[in-house]
Structure 1
Amino acid sequence: MRRQPLLKSALASHMREHASIYLFIIVLFLMGVIFGAVVVNSLNFSQKQDLYYYLMQFFGQVSKGNLASAYDMFQQSYFHNLKYVGLMWVLGISIIGLPIILILLFLKGIVIGFTVGFLVNQMGWQGFVLSFVSVMPQNFIIIPAFIIMGVASVTFSLKMVRNQFMKRTHEPIFPMIMRYALVMVIISVSLLASASLEAYVSPVFMKQVIQMVNH
């Protein structure tokens, strides 16, 4: 019973200690989402028409159930996101990787913002509902996972810089790496849940919404 209060206090102290980094990462990510939504308006008519055509083709395949198997989708989603956070993890170890971590988080925001923005721009409220059932379920897990990984990578990278250039604040490397590796393990497990949602839950919701829209 004591473990739960200890865990809560540990999480609270972690959040307090890294509050400024969390705020910076969240704001950066939201800027990416907004930028992605704005990019939709910069597309010309023919570009929008081409994208909309491919989108309708995809939705047609969904409504007929002609998609890749759920297991294949699960594998593709999981390993795509795992490689993304894995790259952030590796960049955190290399001191020079700090700016690239921030770029990766910004790009992730752009992708989500563009996807939702395009669906809403082309289909109105129906696009919003479609984006909610196709994009949002897995991203309720993926977005916090990416933000936590981003904070962990940035924090680790900054600690490495301090160890390298500020001898007075020297911290043992091995415990730092072990804690950093533990974060990667936890994130990897959480991505299993997001991949499951994307492969087994989202297509079912999408099919129902597309059929409702068509009728």
Structure 2
Amino acid sequence: MNKKRKSQWSQTLQVHVQNQKSLYIFVTVLFMMGVIFGAVIVNTLDPEQKEGLINYLSYFFRGLEQNSIAEPEMAFQHALGDHLKTVGLMWILGLSVIGIPVLLVFIFLKGLVIGFTVGFLVSQLSWKGLWFAFVSVVPQNLLVIPAIIIVSVAGIHFSMLLVRNRLIHHRGTIYPQFVSFSILVTGMAAILLLSAIFVAYVSPHLMRHAIPTVGFLTLHAAYN
């Protein structure tokens, strides 16, 4: 029974992606534009802003080395709470007529944050920064980014359907589409649950092992 449900879920997701292929391409390109823009912003920071970020990173590195960061349970609760708030907000936006532009802005900003984070690490630590970004940023985002993009596309599609059915054609119920959208969001929330587990219990160990390669003192040396 579980295998059958998984197969049905996989088929449903494949059909959804195939039917919204052009929208997925558009949203993915928008996300990549955000990543590029975030990396470019790094070069516009003034020395005081860079120094503040460097001090924060040094403090974070020191906390990792001394194993004084948040307990895994607390980190899991924060990560899961943030993910559920994000997915819940995107679900609500998908149910509203004004949700389309907000969802697009959200995707762009998500890419911008990731691009800025990776860009800043690389600008200050060169290949060491790229390695640390690969260890600390990439793994969980391999789950988060696809899930967020899927929820965004589903929300945009449902919002467009809502506009057509309610404001233009005045057709009948769209309850089946609402149920499908909600189920899809729930499935992506489950994926984000896995991401929260990874962030809390696996990612700190990966970053801690990467610190000897990076070294937080390198930040000050690079800045000075």
Short-chain TM bin: over 0.9
Q: Using the TM superposition, give the Cα deviation of residue 166 of structure 1 relative to its aligned residue in structure 2, in angstroms.
A: 3.1
Q: CA deviation at 1:137?
A: 1.1
Match of 1:199 in 2: 200
Please provide the CA RMSD for this pair.
2.0
Within 5 Å, give how 1:14-53 maps onto structure 2: 14-53=16-55
| Counterpart secondary structure, 2:123 | helix
Q: Are residues 206 and 155 of structure 1, via their aligned partners in 2, closer, same or farther at CA, if it must alter by over 3 Å?
A: same
Q: Which residue of 1 aligns with 2:161?
A: 159
Q: 2:74 aligns with which of 59, 72, 75?
A: 72
Unaligned runs of 5+ in 2: 218-224
Matches within 5 A, 1:123-162: 123-162=125-164
% identity of equivalent residues: 44
Measured against aligned partners, the alpha-carbon deviations of 1:174-205 in whole angstroms (never above 9, x if no partner) come to 11111111012101111111011111111001
User: What amino acid is aligned across from residue 206 of structure 2 in structure 1?
Assistant: F
Question: Does structure 1 residue 187 correspond to structure 2 residue 192?
Answer: no
How far the C-alpha of 1:82 sits from its partner, in A, is: 1.4
Instruction: Tell me the secondary structure at the aligned position of residue 95 of structure 1.
Output: coil
Query: 1:102 aligned to 97, 101, 104, which one?
Result: 104
2:70 match: secondary structure: coil
Which whole-Å CA distance do the structure 2 matches of 1:133 and 1:9 have between them?
32
TM-score (norm 1): 0.92
- 3-state SS of paired residue (1:66): coil
Instruction: Please report the TM-score for the alignment, with normalisation by the length of structure 2.
Output: 0.89
Looking at structure 2, the residues matched to 90 and 14 of structure 1 have their Cα atoms a distance apart, in angstroms, of: 20
Unpaired runs of 5+ residues, structure 1, are: none
Partners of 2:82 and 2:75 in 1: how far apart? Answer: 10
